[in-house]
A and B are shown apart, each in its own frame.
Chain A
Amino acid sequence: MLRIEHLYWVVAAFLFVTAILNLRDRRFSMATFWLLLSVPFVFGEAILDALRAGTEWPAQAIGMIVIVLGVLASMNPLRSVAEAADAEAHQQRSADRLGNRIFIPALALPTITLMLYLGRDLLVWNGVPLLDPKAQTLTSLGVACVLSLALGMAVTHARAPEPLAEGRRLLDSLGWAVLLPMVLATLGGVFITTGVGSAIASVTAAVIPIDNRVACLLAFALGMVLFTVVMGNAFAAFPVMMAGIGLPLLIMEHGANPALLGAVGMLTGYCGTLLTPMAANFNIVPAVLLELPDQYGVIRAQAGTAIALIVFNVGLMLMLVFR
């Protein structure tokens, strides 16, 4: 059976090759960055197993690596890696030669992901599911990446090192932005363990008039937005705001409908996700990926929709949640 762990090893191999290629170009700090980042992907499951068995030093070593990665990130500012001088002419020639055939592997990537996911119940060998049942779409995506790469090489007649060199070029131009989602999620874990959430909830609960249900609802909705902006993740904001305001005040005191409050409250948090650089994988990584001059360009483009939706959600809750 294919476990998600196997795909992590493929990621590790890709990071390792990128490190070697950087080493060959004598870009030592970039090479160290990718090399260190590959470590949690090689040993991830072993580290978590050790932790469950009570051995903490491997996790602590990763903790040290995270700190070093932060320092290395600040030493390697983002820059787009120059394409070879003949790249554009080459692209034109290739585009003419291959015609619409170039779309086959590009569309194969989403199509294969879709087919693997839909056919997951058929992909069973001797009673064992072939795709990791705990992460079906992601394993489907991983397999689709490998298959469409094979298809892409067949269509373009590329030789083996070419996809690695091109993958490395994209990875290098993403640079530290690639790491930001992971460290932000890590920070979310630290914030929860150190009690940042309960501190914020208790401050909020202390400043609102708790017998006024409209004030409580507004505090809950705006709290979801603000807390998501700070944490970069509505999932982190939800338990905090629900435990601080939603459950004790709105549901217990004022009789709010929990299913509606939960669903629309979470979606109000999502509006916060659209507004914050902390949600790096949605807002900063694409800005880098699309080579925008402004890192906050994507946030600017979606802010109008986010604010209109916050108003819509608050209105929806005011109308229906207390029935």
Chain B
Amino acid sequence: MPADINYWPLLGVAVVVFGFALKRNPVLVVVVAGLVSGVAAGLPVADLLTLLGRSFVENRLLLLFVLTLPVIGLLERHGLRERARRWIASFRRLRLFHILISYLGLRQLLAMFGLTHVAGHAQTVRPLIAPMSEAAAERELGPLDDDERARVRANAAATDNIGLFFGEDIFIAFSAVLLIQAFFARNDIVLEPLEIARWAIPTAIAAFVIHSIRLWLLQRRLLRARREKAQRESADAAH
């Protein structure tokens, strides 16, 4: 290992790992990790504060999604989720994995054209996709227990993430593609964005296939758990 590298800032990583493992408040853990890593690197306190403040301000874009909350809250108050549930329940043949696989494909296609903020956890998953998935699962299984409901909701959110992540990299103006291009350009390797983006296609297809299979398995597993429970109960009743 080269001797001129300061390894002490790695303490910040240790703070993160232990903080999360001990289930401390994540925001506090992260702030402490930043302070530890800064002090370990020998940064003066004033510079460390500047660094914290600057990075925080530069990343305020990440909070823009709160603008969706008033309209989503208002529509929920007026029964949006209830209505979404009933609308799905009116289609007899529609099953849980149909909804989630369609959403996965749609999310990937939209992200591929750079439309990453058209859908999202606050905009579409909570008000529409989660209640629709629950309604579809409910028609097949009857009323969901807490555990089943949590699993259906978690999978709706997971589907959104996977659709987003493995679609956006094909969009040539997406920042990941540009980041890769810029990194190589600094090191005298000149690439066109399209050359990079096309290599994201095989993984995008694999993501769609793998996740679709897992959604189908989820549906099957939920059904089987129900059937086994029913069998156990009827066996108990017979005794």
Contact = CB atoms under 8 A, between A and B. Distances in A.
Interface of A: 4, 7-8, 10-11, 14-15, 37, 40-41, 44, 47-48, 51, 56, 58-67, 69-71, 73-74, 77, 87, 90-96, 98-100, 102-103, 105-106, 109-110, 113-114, 117, 135, 137-138, 140-142, 145-146, 148-149, 152-153, 156, 158, 162-167, 169-171, 176, 178-191, 193-196, 198-200, 202-203, 206, 230, 234-235, 238-239, 242, 247, 251, 258-260, 262-264, 266-267, 270, 273-274, 277-278, 280-287, 289-294, 297-298, 300-302, 304-305, 308-309, 312-313, 316
A40, A61, A71: residue with the most chain B Cβ atoms closer than 10 Å:
A40
Contacts of B196: 259, 262-263
A201 B31 CA distance: 23
B64 A287 contact: no
Given A235-B179, A316-B203, A8 B75 contact: no
Most chain A CB within 10 A, of B9, B38, B71, B189, is at B71
Interface in B81-105: 81-84, 86-87
Given A11-B64, A63-B50, A301-B151, A170 B69 contact: yes
B154 A292 contact: yes
B130 A290 contact: yes
Interface in B184-199: 184, 187, 189, 191, 195-199
Nearest to B151: A301
A103 B68 CA distance: 15
**Which 8 A-B residue pairings sit nearest by Cβ, starting from the closest?**
A166-B73, A95-B79, A189-B55, A63-B49, A62-B53, A167-B70, A70-B31, A194-B41
B58 A48 contact: yes
Interface string B64-80: 11111111111111111
Contacts of B49: 59-60, 63-64
Given A73-B25, A293-B150, A300-B154, A185 B59 contact: yes
Contacts of B1: 202-203, 206
Contacts of B38: 190, 194
A109 B71 contact: yes
Given A103-B80, A185-B55, 16 more contacts: A7-B67, A47-B57, A63-B50, A63-B52, A69-B27, A74-B27, A109-B68, A152-B71, A156-B74, A186-B52, A259-B195, A287-B154, A289-B121, A301-B154, A309-B203, A316-B202
Nearest to B49: A63
A199 B6 contact: yes
Question: Of B70, B146, B157, which is in contact with the most chain A CB atoms at under 10 Å from its CB?
Answer: B70
Given A98-B79, A206-B1, A297-B154, A191 B37 contact: yes
Contacts of A41: 60, 63
A194 B128 contact: no
B122 A196 contact: no
Contacts of B31: 66-67, 69-70, 183
Given A69-B27, A137-B115, A258-B184, A182 B82 contact: no
